[in-house]
C-alpha cells in the first residue's frame, strides 16, 4: 500500500499587530500563519495529507521541502511590487515581505529537489517573479476593457469568466478547450519569466495559467480551484494532477472517471507541452 503523500501548503502571514481580536485568537504581539481550509479539504479529497507551512526563516526551506512530496503555493497577500522593479501604490492590498522572501526560497528548493509545485493565484504570480517575470500592480493597467478579476459578489466557487486553455496537455487534463473559473485577484502576470509560457488566458488576454518547459512538474493557475472544489469536482482537477505527478501516473479527467489512469513512471507533466498554432 502506498504511503499517503504529504502536501505542504503555504498560507497568509499575519503580523503581530494584526493578530489580536476579530477573527483571530491570541495575545497582543503574536503573529499567525493561516492556512485556508479549502486547500486542506481539496488535498484530502484526492487522497493526500495536508500540512501547513508558515513563513519562517528561509534557512529552513531546504529541510521543509525535503519532508514533502509536493508543494502548494497558496493565494493571499499582494506580491511586493519592488520584487519586479515597480513601486507599490494605493491600489495595493496588504504586502507581506517576510512571506515573499520565505516563499521565494521555498520555490528555489522545490525546483532544486524536483518536487511538484501547484501554484494558485498569488502563488502563480510569485512563481513568475521568481523566474524574473513582472506583474501588473493592478489589472486596470492591462487595458481599458479588462474584466472584473476581483469578483467577490458571489459565492467563492462562482465561475465569473471564461478561460481558454492554450496548452494541449492542459486541455487533455480538463477534457475541453475552455473552462469557466472564479476570480479573486487584482494583480496579474505582465511579462513572463525565463522559461515560462502562458498555458491559459482569459477573454481579455490576462494570463490565467503558466507552466515551465524546463520543469514539467510545475503548474500555476490564476483562479482558485480549491474554492471551486467545494461546489463541484472540476475544482479538484489540479489537485489530482499534483498527486499524479507524485505517483508517476498519467491521466486525463475522463480517464480518472473511468478509473483507467496508467502508470508511466514519469507522471503527467508539461515539459514537452504542445501549444496551438493559431
Find out whether 237 and 208 touch, Cβ atoms under 8 Å. no
Q: What is the DSSP string of 240-274?
A: HHHHHHHHTEE--HHHHHHT--EE-SS-S-STT--
Copy the grid coordinates of residue 21: 481580536
61 annotated active-site: no
C-alpha cell at 168: 494541449
Question: Do residues 69 and 6 make contact, with C-beta atoms less than 8 angstroms apart?
Answer: yes
Q: Which residues are within 8 A (CB) of 137 and not within 5 positions of it... i.e. 6 or more apart?
A: 81, 86, 87, 88, 89, 91, 92, 187
Which of 169, 208, 226, 234 is labelled catalytic? 226
Among 121, 208, 215, 240, which one carries the catalytic annotation? 121
> Is 142 one of the annotated active-site residues of the chain?
no
CB 163 within 8 A of CB 178: yes
Of 13, 161, 224, 240, the catalytic one is 224
The yes-or-no answer on residue 226 being catalytic is yes
119 near 167, Cβ under 8 Å?
A: no
Angle between helical axes of 37-45 and 237-247 (0-180°, round to 10): 60
Whether the CB-CB separation of 162 and 129 falls below 8 Å is answered with no
211 phi and psi angles, rounded to 5 deg: -140, 165
Within 10 A of 62 (CB to CB), how many other CB atoms are there?
14
Give the residue numbers marked as catalytic. Answer: 121, 224, 226
Amino acid at each position: 500500500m502506498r504511503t499517503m503523500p504529504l502536501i505542504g501548503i503555504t498560507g497568509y502571514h499575519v503580523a503581530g499587530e494584526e493578530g489580536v481580536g476579530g477573527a483571530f485568537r491570541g495575545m497582543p504581539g503574536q503573529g499567525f500563519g493561516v492556512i485556508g481550509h479549502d486547500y486542506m479539504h481539496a488535498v484530502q479529497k484526492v487522497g493526500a495529507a495536508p500540512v501547513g507551512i508558515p513563513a519562517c526563516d528561509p534557512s529552513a526551506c531546504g529541510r521543509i521541502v525535503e519532508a514533502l512530496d509536493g508543494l502548494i503555493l497558496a493565494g493571499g497577500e499582494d506580491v511586493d511590487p519592488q520584487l519586479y522593479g515597480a513601486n507599490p501604490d494605493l491600489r495595493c492590498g496588504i504586502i507581506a515581505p517576510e512571506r515573499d522572501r520565505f516563499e521565494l526560497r521555498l520555490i528555489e528548493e522545490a525546483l532544486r529537489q524536483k518536487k511538484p509545485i501547484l501554484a494558485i493565484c498569488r502563488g502563480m504570480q510569485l512563481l513568475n517573479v521568481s523566474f524574473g517575470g513582472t506583474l501588473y500592480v493592478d489589472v486596470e493597467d492591462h487595458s481599458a476593457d479588462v474584466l472584473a478579476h476581483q469578483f467577490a459578489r458571489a459565492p467563492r466557487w462562482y465561475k465569473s469568466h471564461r478561460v481558454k486553455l492554450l496548452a494541449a496537455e492542459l486541455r487533455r487534463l480538463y477534457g475541453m478547450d475552455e473552462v469557466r473559473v472564479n476570480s479573486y485577484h487584482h494583480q496579474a502576470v505582465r511579462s513572463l519569466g525565463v522559461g515560462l509560457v502562458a498555458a491559459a488566458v482569459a477573454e481579455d488576454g490576462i494570463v490565467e495559467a503558466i507552466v515551465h518547459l524546463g520543469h514539467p512538474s510545475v503548474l500555476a493557475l490564476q483562479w482558485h480551484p480549491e474554492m471551486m472544489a467545494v461546489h463541484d469536482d472540476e475544482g479538484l482537477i489540479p489537485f489530482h494532477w499534483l498527486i499524479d505527478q507524485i505517483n508517476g501516473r498519467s491521466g486525463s479527467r475522463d480517464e480518472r472517471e473511468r478509473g483507467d489512469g496508467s502508470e508511466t513512471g514519469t507522471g503527467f507533466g508539461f515539459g514537452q507541452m504542445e501549444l496551438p498554432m493559431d
